[in-house]
Amino acid sequence: MQGNRMRQVNELLKHAVSEAINREVELPRGSFITITEVHTSRDLKHADVYVMVLPDGKRVSTLRSLQSQLGRVQRALGKQIKIKFTPKLRFLFDEGQIRAQGVYDSIDTADQETGAVE
């Protein structure tokens, strides 16, 4: 279980990385990115940033674009946050969100096929 301090650091990084991406990164046209979670190592030197990309068909190109501009995000993050280390970021797809969306899509399809109303 995470301590309160680590939860605070993860939330700080989540918001700071989101701002840095909005300001510094050029995403492929028509793609949108949401940071769903951040998991920081205990020593604060590494952070896994979980992202959800819409539309689903642009997941790979958007993540590649994000990775290619990682240096810009790191620099902006270093200027914005005041913690002992600026963690080295790693962007990952949030597979849990993808599975959840698949479940919702299946339910919607079943509702349409049976004529169920919300």
CATH number of residue 43's parent domain: 3.30.300.20
Indicate the range of 11-20, 23-32, 55-64, 89-98 predicted with least confidence.
89-98
Q: Which amino acid, residue 19?
A: E
pLDDT the model gives residue 1: 46
Tell me the backbone φ, ψ of residue 25, rounded to 5 degrees: -110, 135
| Res. 68: pLDDT tops 50 | yes
**23: its two tokens:** 């300001």
Taking only the tens place, the pLDDT of each residue in 39-66 is 999 999 999 999 999 898 899 999 999 9
Q: Which domain holds residue 12?
A: 4-114
pLDDT bracket for residue 69 (50, 70, 90): very high
* 12: Cα within 13 Å, side-chain hemisphere: 16
Q: What is the pLDDT of residue 34?
A: 93
Per the structure, the count of domains in the chain is 1
Question: How much is the CA Rg of the chain, to the nearest whole Å?
Answer: 17
Task: Examine the pLDDT at 26 and tell me if it is beyond 80.
Answer: yes
User: Is the peptide bond between 28 and the residue preceding it cis, with omega within 30 degrees of 0?
Assistant: no
